[in-house]
């Protein structure tokens, strides 16, 4: 870690709260954001935020509802307050950028509840130039040894009329919905990140950071543009149970002047704790091929039988493919017992160490090793967390023995139908993956994996809240509607889906979306809402340190020109810049390779054609580059079954003072590799 400046002068000021009194304020380092904490006459707490002197968040309540004790909702008095400044730059082991600046001003507000035996609580705000976060902190206190939190009173009352992009919460498919675009006042029950654009053009994103041992936060409309936190439910009691001292996750609001700046913010990462795993050189970004899309296309099966996909022979074929084309890994889904019959929810009966008869794990792992390829493990749980936890250590140990250093896990089940072990007395109960016990499990799976030097790519996860900073072996997640919906979805993903994801889901962290389906077809006559060039651009636009090359081998053999970009594009970046961005419409992202001087650009659009100009100012001014361009052909259009494949490749020598025209077809994209030429 490169430490620039840290000064945290805790000057405690004791005061008492009077009616509607401002208790404390804090500004962002650039002074444009001002957060004020206030109390009403009854000692109810609220905060409000101004930006450049104008209201950004109207007075919004703070507090917690308890099931086992008097509410933490009012009767508060200010006990002390303190401010603090911080500025450092920390190193990411992998990511969209190598270095992250963490600069904020902090306000600590200590309050007591005189009517409740002086129960104590702290509100901590951290205000950055690009947004703020706050959390509740409860010290260990005899007056509240156990807190059963039934819900939060936390509100977010956005002052200026705004448009919102959001996915529903509390619905069957958990996070896997197309993104809604509505007036903010028409949001129902939403998950986060929830992205907003105000009438004056400010871009905001409401989310949370450091979701640890607590229920996931949903938000629901109260009235007007006021949203209130709603904790994901527990199946067994209050949403959250805490003993002794505890802190809640940070409730966060990114604030930016453009969609691009919203994406570039590292607010949630900065609000997470530094790496707790120490040396993580064993965590390896990279691309992987595998036995996967063929099952989604219904060409083979996860289950046993004549169409079983995960055979030793098929795995070896993919290992050869990966070795020939320089891909680090091969994923083989469906190799273990448990895929026959209904494997979802309570029916799930996976065995994580026993292989199907036609799959020889030791032989496949040895074959991969000899070819310089790593197997990517797979743990589908069907949401049966209890069963998985009982076998987890044996399962990781087996993989570690065979050199598997990354595991894709899965929790396919409807909302509320995951199965968890009872705390005592044996047996299991149904519950929610986004509940406190779900949140605990996902992190437990990651920290246990770390003991075996295994990294995790979670599908059907709880949403990302920046925990990759603390646990860098949590490499990626799904957590949105991925490419697989284009195989069997009803409906498939809409044409604006990826342009939505960039400025919604991707704000939370890496996504294992599986770009690169250059055949552009799903199962049973479904056609992707995409041109071929867009599939290439997605490798740059939708960040994940582990990225699949999912198509069938024959597809990449058929379209070698497009395949070249997929072979070349890296998955770990030195730096990232958003060049163009409009939520749900278009995104152009430039990223510099972490291991070379080369740059890559991906541009995508929704259903509209675009003519854009790409200034190359991000390139090193002292170098020349060979731009290898992959663009939509002049007649390309995602709706045209023939011309959606039109891909033009061109090369030209460029410098940082050049401008490149970008021509994106409807549903199209453009990918560019900038190879630094010898000086």
Q: List active site positions.
A: 484
Minimum distance, C-beta of residue 334 to ligand NOJ, in the bound complex (Å): 8
From 459, 468, 580, 631, residue interacting with ligand NOJ (rule: CB under 6 A): 459
From 484, 498, 598, 632, residue interacting with ligand NOJ (rule: CB under 6 A): 484
The verdict on 294 binding ligand NOJ (CB under 6 A) reads no
Give whichever of 348 and 670 is closer to ligand NOJ, judged by the CB atom.
Answer: 348
CA distance 404 to 147: 41
Minimum distance, C-beta of residue 571 to ligand NOJ, in the bound complex (Å): 18
Cβ proximity of 152 and 240 under 8 Å? no
Tokens matching residue 486: 């284009």
At 564, which helix (H) or strand (E)? helix 560-568
Tokens matching residue 253: 């609001």
The verdict on 552 binding ligand NOJ (CB under 6 A) reads no
Minimum distance, C-beta of residue 485 to ligand NOJ, in the bound complex (Å): 10
**Residue 184 has what DSSP assignment?**
G
| Per-residue contact string for residues 624-653; x = within reach of ligand NOJ by CB under 6 A | ------------------------------
Residue closest to 307 by CA, chosen among 339, 345, 331: 339
- Tell me phi and psi for residue 652, to 5 degrees: -155, 160
CA distance 160 to 49: 12
Give whichever of 333 and 646 is closer to ligand NOJ, judged by the CB atom.
Answer: 333
Other CB atoms within a 10 A radius of the CB of residue 428 amount to 15
Give whichever of 458 and 531 is closer to ligand NOJ, judged by the CB atom.
Answer: 458
Minimum distance, C-beta of residue 461 to ligand NOJ, in the bound complex (Å): 10
HSE (CB half, 13 Å, CA atoms) of 489?
Answer: 18
The verdict on 34 binding ligand NOJ (CB under 6 A) reads no
From 412, 415, 553, 609, residue interacting with ligand NOJ (rule: CB under 6 A): 412
Give whichever of 69 and 349 is closer to ligand NOJ, judged by the CB atom.
Answer: 349
Tokens matching residue 305: 């039988």
Output the CA–CA distances (angstroms, integers) from residue 164 to 13, 184, 224, 482, in the order listed.
39, 5, 13, 21
**Chain centre distance of CA 335:** 28
Q: What is the dihedral of CA 470, 476, 477, 478, to 10 degrees?
A: 150
Minimum distance, C-beta of residue 506 to ligand NOJ, in the bound complex (Å): 17
Minimum distance, C-beta of residue 570 to ligand NOJ, in the bound complex (Å): 23
Minimum distance, C-beta of residue 342 to ligand NOJ, in the bound complex (Å): 13
Give whichever of 292 and 359 is closer to ligand NOJ, judged by the CB atom.
Answer: 292
| Per-residue contact string for residues 315-344; x = within reach of ligand NOJ by CB under 6 A | ------------------x-----------
72-131 residues in contact with ligand NOJ (CB under 6 A) are: none
The site for ligand NOJ, by CB under 6 A, has a size of 8
Cβ proximity of 442 and 471 under 8 Å? no
Minimum distance, C-beta of residue 263 to ligand NOJ, in the bound complex (Å): 24
User: 366: which residues sit within 8 A by CB, 6+ positions away?
Assistant: none
Cβ proximity of 445 and 418 under 8 Å? no
Beta bridge partners of 207: 252
Output the CA–CA distances (angstroms, integers) from residue 409 to 206, 213, 508, in the order listed.
27, 20, 19
Give whichever of 59 and 553 is closer to ligand NOJ, judged by the CB atom.
Answer: 553
Give whichever of 147 and 492 is closer to ligand NOJ, judged by the CB atom.
Answer: 492
Cβ proximity of 240 and 148 under 8 Å? yes
Give whichever of 235 and 412 is closer to ligand NOJ, judged by the CB atom.
Answer: 412
Minimum distance, C-beta of residue 169 to ligand NOJ, in the bound complex (Å): 19
Other CB atoms within a 10 A radius of the CB of residue 657 amount to 10
For every residue of 618-664, DSSP letters joined together read TS-TT--EEEEEEEE-TT--TT-TTGGG-EEEEEEEE-TT-EEEEEE
The verdict on 380 binding ligand NOJ (CB under 6 A) reads yes
3-state SS record for 357-417: CCCCHHHHHHHHHHCCCEEEEEEECCCEHHHHHHHHHHHHHHHHHCCCCEEEEECCCCCCC
From 110, 405, 478, 585, residue interacting with ligand NOJ (rule: CB under 6 A): 478
Minimum distance, C-beta of residue 380 to ligand NOJ, in the bound complex (Å): 4
The verdict on 410 binding ligand NOJ (CB under 6 A) reads yes
Give whichever of 127 and 175 is closer to ligand NOJ, judged by the CB atom.
Answer: 175
CA distance 384 to 67: 28
Give whichever of 208 and 478 is closer to ligand NOJ, judged by the CB atom.
Answer: 478
Contacts with ligand NOJ by CB under 6 A lie at: 292, 333, 380, 410, 412, 459, 478, 484
């Amino acid at each position: 870690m490169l430490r620039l400046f840290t000064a945290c002068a805790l000057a405690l000021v004791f005061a008492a709260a009077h009616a509607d009194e401002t208790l404390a304020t804090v500004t962002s380092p650039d002074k444009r954001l001002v957060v004020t904490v206030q109390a009403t006459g009854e000692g109810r707490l609220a905060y409000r935020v101004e930006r450049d002197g104008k209201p950004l968040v109207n007075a919004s309540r703070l507090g917690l509802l308890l099931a086992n004790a008097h509410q933490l909702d009012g009767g508060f008095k200010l006990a002390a307050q303190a401010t603090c400044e911080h500025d450092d730059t920390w190193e990411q082991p992998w990511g969209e950028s190598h270095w992250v600046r963490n600069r904020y001003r902090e306000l600590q507000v200590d309050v007591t509840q005189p009517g409740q035996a002086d129960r104590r609580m702290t509100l901590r705000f951290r205000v950055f130039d690009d947004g703020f976060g706050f959390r509740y902190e409860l010290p260990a206190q005899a007056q509240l040894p156990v807190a059963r939190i039934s819900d939060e009173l936390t509100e977010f009352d956005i002052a200026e009329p705004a448009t919102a992009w959001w996915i529903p919460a509390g619905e069957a498919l958990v996070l896997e919905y197309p993104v809604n675009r509505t007036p903010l006042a028409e949001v129902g029950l939403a998950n986060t990140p929830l992205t907003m654009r105000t009438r004056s053009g400010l871009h905001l994103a409401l989310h949370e950071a450091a979701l640890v041992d607590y229920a996931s936060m949903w938000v629901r409309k109260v009235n007007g543009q006021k949203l209130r936190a709603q904790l994901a439910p527990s199946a067994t009691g209050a949403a959250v149970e805490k003993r002794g001292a505890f802190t809640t996750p940070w409730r966060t609001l990114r604030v930016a002047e453009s969609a691009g700046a919203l994406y570039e913010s590292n607010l949630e990462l900065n609000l997470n704790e530094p790496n707790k795993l120490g040396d993580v050189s064993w965590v390896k970004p990279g691309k992987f091929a595998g036995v996967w899309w063929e099952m989604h296309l219904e060409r083979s099966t996860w289950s046993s039988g004549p169409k079983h996909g995960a055979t030793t022979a098929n795995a070896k074929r993919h290992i050869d493919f990966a070795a020939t084309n320089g891909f680090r890994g091969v994923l083989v889904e469906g190799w273990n017992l448990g895929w026959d019959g209904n494997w979802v929810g309570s029916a799930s009966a996976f065995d994580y160490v026993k292989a199907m008869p036609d799959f020889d794990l030791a032989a496949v792992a040895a074959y991969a090793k000899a070819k310089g390829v790593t197997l990517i493990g797979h743990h589908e749980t069907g949401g049966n967390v209890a069963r998985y936890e009982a076998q987890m250590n044996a399962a990781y140990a087996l993989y570690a023995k065979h050199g598997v250093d990354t595991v894709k896990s899965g929790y396919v089940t409807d909302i509320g139908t995951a199965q968890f072990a009872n705390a005592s007395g044996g047996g299991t109960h149904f519950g929610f993956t986004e509940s406190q016990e779900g949140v605990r499990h996902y992190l437990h799976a990651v920290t246990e994996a770390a003991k075996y030097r295994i990294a995790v790519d979670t599908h059907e996860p709880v949403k990302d809240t920046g925990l990759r900073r603390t646990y860098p072996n949590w490499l990626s997640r799904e957590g949105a509607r991925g490419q697989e919906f284009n195989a069997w979805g009803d409906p498939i993903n809409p044409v604006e889906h990826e342009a939505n994801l960039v400025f919604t889901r991707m704000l939370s962290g890496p996504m294992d979306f599986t770009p690169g389906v250059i055949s552009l077809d799903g199962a049973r006559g479904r056609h992707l809402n995409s041109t071929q060039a867009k599939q290439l651009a997605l490798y740059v636009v939708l960040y994940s340190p582990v990225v699949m090359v999912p198509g069938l081998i024959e597809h990449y053999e058929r379209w070698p020109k497009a395949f070249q970009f997929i072979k070349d594009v890296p998955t770990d970046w030195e730096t990232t810049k958003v060049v163009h961005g409009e939520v749900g419409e278009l995104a152009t992202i430039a990223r510099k390779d972490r291991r070379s001087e080369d740059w890559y650009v991906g541009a995508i659009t929704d259903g509209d054609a675009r003519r854009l100009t790409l200034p190359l100012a991000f390139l090193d001014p002292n170098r020349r580059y060979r731009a290898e361009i992959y663009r939509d052909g002049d007649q390309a259009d995602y709706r045209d079954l023939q011309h959606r494949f039109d891909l033009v490749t061109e090369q030209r020598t460029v410098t940082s003072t050049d401008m490149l025209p970008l021509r994106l077809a409807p549903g199209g994209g453009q990918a560019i590799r900038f190879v630094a030429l010898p000086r």
